[in-house]
């Protein structure tokens, strides 16, 4: 794999760290800025709102620009947003800075996934996408715990400044290592929007919104499950969540490999296995060691869907894949919101701490059904899995 993929992964690591570490730093932020923890929780929502807004708008605005310039610019905007967070003197300005920080998230992963696919040989493109997303999964293992620990001892602003440093290094690495990836002939907002005429593209996005909601229904409430049902201490929960990140990383790499081998079957199987793993957790959660192993399995099966679906979306929008690829990030955020909401409904109904996991299993099974129906409808077309390269000499140069 070319070094340019490592530059993409490093920036993804910084993005993943700032997205998830904020959840662990809410008490410190609340104490420092004299707000309640629920009020501080708006910082998570503001970031997600930035992702949903920025993914289509920034992608559309940069549709005609060379992809390298776009990626470097988005990484620089992300770094600037984190710097504004670190120096924000009050909560309203911090919330605004979090919104700015979230704006480039979806656009970066959308353009980055397309760039990663173009950098690799045709039979390795899904694995190249997985390499980029590995930065996001490794952040859950290393970046988030480190930032949380640093924030607890030296203050939340110090953790933000470390992310600023990671973002700056990633930006410089992209500027230095990423080859020129010119925009496609005829690229523009009209051609990007035209790709959304594909029913298969909408089915792929629907698969994400329904199926991946199952993962988030479980993950949103996994901490109280681990403490109240499994009996883990606070430190034990930290270890189990790190194991969840290990599972995500493994699943991401397995998903990339499987997608290069057999894309459609890989998607259906990944969602089916996620449904089974979530269902299994309802039985193993009461036993600590079994719960920990099942959490790893959930992370593995859950994140195996990411490179597979991302590759499918780029395939279905292969003439103009950047906006569609960025839209996947919005779909993941909708899945996050939907899963958390449906899990809360189950808890509010008095069904117990394990009810969100059962709900999640049903949602993942629904995603499997949508993916399988889309596969059946798509069989007559027999479209190629590979994403068309923007410039063949780039792939040939790298190798």
Domains of the chain are 1-183 (1.20.1250.20), 188-388 (1.20.1250.20)
Do 213 and 339 touch, CB atoms closer than 8 A? yes
Mean pLDDT of the 104-119 span: 83
Q: How many CB atoms lie within 10 A of CB 186?
A: 10
Token pair recorded at residue 120: 């690799």
d(CA 269, CA 255): 10
Do 137 and 245 touch, CB atoms closer than 8 A? yes
Mean pLDDT of the 120-125 span: 76
Q: Could you tell me which residue, 176 or 386, shows the higher pLDDT?
A: 176
Residue 260 pLDDT: 81
Mean pLDDT of the 213-232 span: 84
- Sole residue written with tokens 């310039």: 69
Q: Could you tell me which residue, 314 or 215, shows the higher pLDDT?
A: 215
Do 130 and 341 touch, CB atoms closer than 8 A? no
pLDDT in tens, 257-275: 888 888 889 999 999 999 9
pTM: 0.74
Residue 37 pLDDT: 63
Residue 193 pLDDT: 67
194 band by pLDDT with thresholds 50, 70 and 90: low
Residue 391 clears pLDDT 60, i.e. is over it: no
pLDDT in tens, 61-80: 777 788 888 899 999 999 99
pLDDT in tens, 24-47: 677 788 888 888 766 776 787 788
CA 298 to chain centre: 15
Q: Could you tell me which residue, 355 or 391, shows the higher pLDDT?
A: 355
Average pLDDT, the chain: 82
221 band by pLDDT with thresholds 50, 70 and 90: confident
125 band by pLDDT with thresholds 50, 70 and 90: confident
pLDDT in tens, 131-173: 888 888 888 788 777 887 787 788 889 888 988 998 899 899 9
Ramachandran class of 10: left when φ > 0, alpha when ψ lies in -120 to 50, beta otherwise? alpha
User: How many CA atoms within 13 Å lie on the side-chain side of 281?
Assistant: 35
Residue 269 pLDDT: 93
Residue 395 pLDDT: 43
d(CA 50, CA 261): 35
Mean pLDDT of the 371-392 span: 63
Residue 100 pLDDT: 92
Residue 398 clears pLDDT 50, i.e. is over it: no
The 3-state DSSP class for residue 73 equals: helix
Range of 12-16, 36-40, 122-126 with top mean pLDDT: 12-16
Residue 303 clears pLDDT 80, i.e. is over it: yes
Do 3 and 132 touch, CB atoms closer than 8 A? no
Q: Could you tell me which residue, 25 or 105, shows the higher pLDDT?
A: 105
Q: Which of 288-297, 321-330, 367-376 has the lowest mean pLDDT?
A: 321-330
- Sole residue written with tokens 């998903």: 255
Do 249 and 328 touch, CB atoms closer than 8 A? no
Residue 326 pLDDT: 75
């Amino acid at each position: 794999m070319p070094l340019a993929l490592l530059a993409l992964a490093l920036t993804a690591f910084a993005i993943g760290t700032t997205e998830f570490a904020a959840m662990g730093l809410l008490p410190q932020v609340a104490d420092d800025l004299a707000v309640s923890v629920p009020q501080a929780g708006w910082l998570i929502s503001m970031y997600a709102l930035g992702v949903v807004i920025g993914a289509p708008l920034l992608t559309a605005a940069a549709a005609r620009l060379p992809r390298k310039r776009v990626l470097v610019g988005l990484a620089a905007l992300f770094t600037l947003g984190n710097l504004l967070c670190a120096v924000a003197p009050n909560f309203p300005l911090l919330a605004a800075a979090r919104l700015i920080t979230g704006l480039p998230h979806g656009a970066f992963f959308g353009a980055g996934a397309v760039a990663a696919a173009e950098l690799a040989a045709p039979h390795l493109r899904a694995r190249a996408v997985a390499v980029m997303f590995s930065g996001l999964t490794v952040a859950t293992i290393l970046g988030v715990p480190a930032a949380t620990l640093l924030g607890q001892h030296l203050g939340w602003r110090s953790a933000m400044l470390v992310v600023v440093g990671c973002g700056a290094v990633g930006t410089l690495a992209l500027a230095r290592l990423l080859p020129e990836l010119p925009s496609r002939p005829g690229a523009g907002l009209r051609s990007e929007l035209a790709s959304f005429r594909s029913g298969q593209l909408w089915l792929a996005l629907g698969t994400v919104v329904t199926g991946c909601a199952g993962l988030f229904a479980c993950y949103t409430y996994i901490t109280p499950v681990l403490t109240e049902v499994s009996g883990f201490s606070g430190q034990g929960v930290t270890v189990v969540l790190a194991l969840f990140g290990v599972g995500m990383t493994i699943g991401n790499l397995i998903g990339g490999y499987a997608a290069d081998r057999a894309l459609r079957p890989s998607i259906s199987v990944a969602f089916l296995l996620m449904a089974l793993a979530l269902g299994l957790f309802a039985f193993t959660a009461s036993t600590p060691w079994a719960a920990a192993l099942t959490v790893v399995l959930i992370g593995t099966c859950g994140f195996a869907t990411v490179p597979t679906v991302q590759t499918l979306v780029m395939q279905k929008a292969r003439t103009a894949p950047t906006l569609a690829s960025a839209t996947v990030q919005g779909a993941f955020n909708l899945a996050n919101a939907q899963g958390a909401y449906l899990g809360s409904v189950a808890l509010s109904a008095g069904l117990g701490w394990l009810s969100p996991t059962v709900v999640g299993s049903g949602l993942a099974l629904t995603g499997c059904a949508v993916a399988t129906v889309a596969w059946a409808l798509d069989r007559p077309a027999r479209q190629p899995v590979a994403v068309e390269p923007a410039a063949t000499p780039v792939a040939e140069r790298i190798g």
